[in-house]
Amino acid sequence: MVIDGTLEGVTGELQDLGTLTVFMELCLKPKARTLVSRVLLGMLAVSALASLGAGGALILERRGLVTLRRVPSPIIKTWVDERGSGIAIVNTDTTPGCFWIGFAIRINISTPRRDPYRQSGFTEVRGEHPDGDEERVWVPSRSIVLRTHPRFAERSCEAWLYDVQGSVGVFGRESPERGIRRGSRETLRWLPYVTWQTGDVPDGFYFYRPAQSMRVVEGPGIVAQHGGLTPSFKWDGTSPVAIDVDMATSEMEDVFILATSKKSGVLGSSWMWTYDPDMTVIDERGDWSFFHTSQRISDRISREGARR
């Protein structure tokens, strides 16, 4: 122990010594020890109850029974990978949330269940209520949750997303899209139309609209053409087309690329959307999906093209 030598310092140290002495004397008494033990146990019990209460509240929030914070507004996209396909519930917010996903099939494809909302992709729709057979889904912050359902194999199916207040929006599927992580290099996956599958070969491709985050890797069989409104390329129709997805923008970007030939026009397409590399992909699909392989996608598009 160090005393600074001043009167105030000596007094302060003596007070500390007195307090310590009193505390030690109390601790030596059985009744005092019992009292201290009870106080400590009480504090531990309160802390445990608080932890249980917080944990219980989080469980209730994940089940959609309570709302503890601001509810995010995710959207729905299509997801296609080696496992198959499904829907992607995309939450770019820093807040998680509990939602319900429902799949509704229209009896007549030419007569949508909700005419004003029917279109390709995701449309924000408020005011609708669940039908009762929806599935609960917990969507963490900055995440992409993958789901699928047998009904979504039908072209007339719509996926509806609901929160505690009602509908968030509806997703209508037209063509499968791939989610591409920013900062990666990907090879395009083409969906050939009938003329491509029956022998015609593309001699070029172009972006339907400019893509801020994508750059085509030129090489043998792939040469850029200049002067067009959107990026276009000469192509031998067989060489793999690689693209670099940069970090130029932090917003999701939808990309639509068309394969063409001078003889037959548009022969096929490739659909993509980009997401930030810090987002976590959570795969909650089962063993099946509404598309199992890219060949099945191509076959379906071919059949639809033949009917048209």
* Whether residues 101 and 44 fall in one domain: no
pLDDT of residue 161: 92
The range of the structural domain enclosing residue 104 comes to 75-172
Beta strands in 70-132 (DSSP E): 75-81, 84-91, 97-105, 121-124
* Whether residues 82 and 58 fall in one domain: no
pLDDT of residue 186: 92
Residue 189 is assigned to a structural domain of this protein: yes
Residue 1 is assigned to a structural domain of this protein: no
Spatial neighbors of 167 by CB under 8 A, at least 6 apart, are 125, 126, 127, 128, 129, 130, 160, 161
Q: What is the pLDDT of residues 101-110, one digit of tens each?
A: 998 875 544 4
* Whether residues 247 and 162 fall in one domain: no
Confidence of residue 60 (pLDDT cuts 50, 70, 90): very low
Give the SS3 label for residue 224: strand
Residue 299 is assigned to a structural domain of this protein: no
* Whether residues 200 and 267 fall in one domain: yes
Residue 286 is assigned to a structural domain of this protein: no
Judge whether residue 203 has pLDDT over 80. yes
Q: Which of 121-130, 149-158, 171-180 has the highest mean pLDDT?
A: 121-130
* Whether residues 46 and 83 fall in one domain: no
Q: What is the pLDDT of residues 211-220, one digit of tens each?
A: 888 899 999 9
Judge whether residue 293 has pLDDT over 90. no
CB of 161 within 8 A of CB of 101? yes
Judge whether residue 248 has pLDDT over 60. yes
Q: What is the pLDDT of residues 75-92, one digit of tens each?
A: 999 888 888 888 999 999
> In angstroms, what CA-CA distances link 229 with 181, 206, 211?
26, 10, 12
Count: domains in the chain: 3
* Whether residues 260 and 195 fall in one domain: yes
What percentage of the chain reaches a pLDDT higher than 90?
A: 34
Confidence of residue 7 (pLDDT cuts 50, 70, 90): very low
Q: Where are the alpha helices (DSSP H) in 63-199?
A: 194-197
pLDDT of residue 83: 83
* Whether residues 56 and 87 fall in one domain: no
β pairing state of 157-163 and 166-172 = antiparallel
Indicate the Cα dihedral angle 141, 272, 221, 216, nearest 10°. Answer: -50
CB of 178 within 8 A of CB of 191? no
d(CA 286, CA 39): 52
pLDDT of residue 74: 93
- Higher-scoring residue by pLDDT: 146, 50: 146
Residue 67 is assigned to a structural domain of this protein: no
pLDDT of residue 279: 93
In one letter, which amino acid is 36? V
How many CA atoms are closer than 13 Å to the CA of 264, on its beta-carbon side?
A: 18
β pairing state of 232-235 and 204-207 = antiparallel
pLDDT of residue 84: 81
pTM of the complete model beyond 0.75: no
* Whether residues 168 and 85 fall in one domain: yes
* Whether residues 221 and 266 fall in one domain: yes
Residue 303 is assigned to a structural domain of this protein: no
Ranges 54-68, 121-135, 265-279: which has the least confidence: 54-68
* Whether residues 198 and 234 fall in one domain: yes
DSSP annotation of 112 = -
Ranges 82-86, 171-175, 225-229: which has the least confidence: 171-175
Residue 88 is assigned to a structural domain of this protein: yes
Q: Which of 172, 194, 214 is the last residue of a domain?
A: 172
Residue 84 is assigned to a structural domain of this protein: yes
